[in-house]
Amino acid sequence: MITRRRSAAGLLSMLAALTMLGAPPAQAGEPGAKEPPKVELVLDVSGSMRAQDIDGRSRISVAQQSFDEVVDALPDETQLGIRVLGAKYPGEDKALGCQDTQQIAPVGPVDRTEAKTAIATLRPTGWTPIGLALRAAAKDLGSGETTRRIVLITDGEDDCAPPDPCDVARELAAQGTHLVVDTLGLTLDDKVRRQLTCIADATGGTYTAVQHQSQLTGRLNQLVDRAKDTYRQTPSQVSGTDGCDHAPILTPGVYTDRERFAEHRWYRVPVQPGQELRASVSLALDRPLNPDYGVLLRATAPDGRELVRGTDAGSGRTDVLSAGLRWSGQEAPAATPSASATTAPDGTAATDTVAAHTVCLVVSNSFSAPAGVRTTPGMPLELTVDVVPSSAGPHGPDLGRGWLLLLVLAVTGLLAGLIFGWLARWRIAVWREN
């Protein structure tokens, strides 16, 4: 019995050692978020929201039900605010009607009962001052290091300009307030579509035409949920090129760009010997696409040799497509002489050291659109780049640390076989004696 216990203890010790050998080195935890994710829903409550053309119900009742469901499903860490427009003034004085916007739930931890009660009391009333409401919503969200999101739900175009809502969106984007506006249209009217698309495009957001209550709820939940996934570091604007030689040089960070359908977009990253490149890309699918599409992220040498590729991966959401890769090598790729005096997008100097060890990142897609769907501007793209000290086995599913692990596995298997064989013979001997 003592021998059997010792054998079992030895096997457990070996397995524990194997687990430690095969585990990747621990990474230092990233610092926590400086602030919680923040999003504000802006709802049009103008008179046209009385129309009963969504699943046989009024537009306002559909929006109220969707708001209730979104509030119920809100992640605890997300701070939500609700602003309305056209909800109070019922008169004909346009000057007064075009000032009609109020925040009915402040941005912060949500009291679900109070928020749902405020939503339930809304009745379609007045005008549609979208531009004014967007400016006010930006103030509601304040400033900070993380990206804030506004989700605008409306069934009509602004009838109070100036300010024109497209101009307001461009103004907010130019201020560098890290603000994204997503728009949801409750009508297929072409003028409304053009205005909401303009607002979304100016801020890097998305536009969606809604025709059913379930579609509105699902899209709202996606957009609110996306707020908690925004980067703690504000993405930098960058423009990829059609080749590696003149592509922008990226230092570790987060970048935003747009990629046209069936396009290859190139960037460069300096990687020193003993370092490992980690990169990922996400494209927001902000319009209908033909089936069988994907996104591909590759790392190549400046001379065109492919180093590694990462195919698309599911993100758990139907509106985002992602891919990632990881690469390190014993030797750096060939030098790129023309890169010696380049400046990175974040303003840091890219010196001769950068030129000596350049890896090209290529983002490609296989998107195509049905007839009638716009293909410009390109899809919103977010690219994350990091360079860290290289770790073991970055190229593929290597077995731990190589031959040492194989030897330990072989010895462990041999010992286990001998022990179990001896136990079997001992049991047979005891059985024969009895």
Instruction: Indicate which CATH number applies to the domain containing 154.
Output: 3.40.50.410
Query: Is 5 part of any domain?
Result: no
- Here the tokens at position 163 are 């300010």
Query: Is 9 part of any domain?
Result: no
* Same domain, yes or no: 169 and 45: yes
Using the 3D structure, point to which of 227, 260, 294 is the last residue of a domain.
227
Query: Is 4 part of any domain?
Result: no
What pLDDT does 25 receive?
37
Using the 3D structure, point to which of 204, 227, 250 is the last residue of a domain.
227
H or E stretch at 105? strand 101-108
Who's near 318: CB < 8 A, 6+ residues apart? 285
Using the 3D structure, point to which of 184, 208, 227 is the last residue of a domain.
227
**Region of poorest pLDDT, from 70-74, 76-80, 111-115, 285-289:** 285-289
Query: Is 1 part of any domain?
Result: no
Residue 303 predicted with pLDDT over 80:
yes
* Same domain, yes or no: 113 and 209: yes
Residue 133 predicted with pLDDT over 80:
yes
* Terminal CA-CA length for the chain: 18
* Same domain, yes or no: 299 and 150: no
CA atoms within 13 A of residue 398's CA, in its CB half-sphere:
16
Residue 337 predicted with pLDDT over 60:
no
Residue 247 predicted with pLDDT over 80:
yes
* Same domain, yes or no: 245 and 173: no
* Same domain, yes or no: 122 and 255: no
* Same domain, yes or no: 282 and 203: no
What totals of helices (H) and strands (E) does the chain contain, helices first? 10, 17
What pLDDT does 8 receive?
41
Per DSSP bridges, beta strands 236-237 and 253-259 are parallel
Q: Are 387 and 271 in contact (CB under 8 A)?
A: yes
Mean pLDDT, rounded, of the chain? 80
* Same domain, yes or no: 76 and 185: yes
Q: Which residue has the higher pLDDT, 333 or 154?
A: 154
Which CATH number is 313's domain given? Answer: 2.60.120.380
* Same domain, yes or no: 241 and 218: no
Query: Is 406 part of any domain?
Result: no
Average confidence (pLDDT) over 250-265: 90
Residue 159 predicted with pLDDT over 50:
yes
* Same domain, yes or no: 157 and 266: no
Each residue of 302-321: b (16+ CB within 10 Å) or e?
Answer: beeeebbebebeeeeeebbb
Query: Is 409 part of any domain?
Result: no
Query: Is 149 part of any domain?
Result: yes
Query: Is 329 part of any domain?
Result: yes
**Region of poorest pLDDT, from 59-63, 110-114, 316-320:** 316-320
* Same domain, yes or no: 223 and 247: no
CA atoms within 13 A of residue 401's CA, in its CB half-sphere:
14
Residue 29 predicted with pLDDT over 90:
no
H or E stretch at 48? none
What pLDDT does 432 receive?
76
What pLDDT does 165 receive?
93
Q: Sort 191 into a burial class: Cβ within 10 Å, 0-12 / 13-18 / 19+.
A: exposed
* Same domain, yes or no: 61 and 150: yes
* Same domain, yes or no: 246 and 212: no
Average confidence (pLDDT) over 238-260: 91
Structural domain that includes position 358 = 237-389
**Structural domains counted in the chain:** 2
Q: What is the pLDDT of residues 268-278, one digit of tens each?
A: 999 888 888 88
Average confidence (pLDDT) over 278-282: 87
Q: Which residue has the higher pLDDT, 291 or 49?
A: 49
